[in-house]
Amino acid sequence: MLVGTAQTQANKVFEIVEDWGLSENIYALRFDSTASKIGWKKGACVQLENHLKRKLLFLACRHHVFKLFEGAAWKSVFGKSMSPDHTEFKQFEEKMAHT
């Protein structure tokens, strides 16, 4: 896809689902947690549900979900960081490289 908007994503996925005759076999969606996919009003997943005319089970990638918990823990210990080059993270990264 040249354009990654939620509408474009949903339309393309639905087109492929229809081409392959799979629309009756989809019960859940597995996805990363970017806003274009999970926006509760206009996200690609909601739009795909609308195309299929039924509710689906949403299964967000556990890696992306855990990043939310990790980020909250980091912020509670170190405060809000505006840089990916945070000193504590660099020290952790260096220690992990040698294990």
User: How far apart (Å, rounded) are the C-alpha atoms in residues 49 and 63?
Assistant: 24
What backbone torsions phi and psi does residue 25 show, to the nearest 5 degrees? -105, 5
Q: What is the pLDDT of residue 35?
A: 65
Residue boundaries of the structural domains of the chain: 1-60, 62-98
- Kindly report the length of the chain: 99
Please state, in angstroms and rounded to a whole number, the distance separating the CA atoms of residues 44 and 39. 7
Confidence at residue 54, expressed as pLDDT on a 0 to 100 scale: 96
For 53-94, the pLDDT digits (tens) are 999 998 888 777 787 788 888 888 888 876 767 777 777 778
Per the DSSP assignment, residues forming a β-bridge with 31 are 60
- State the pTM of this model: 0.60
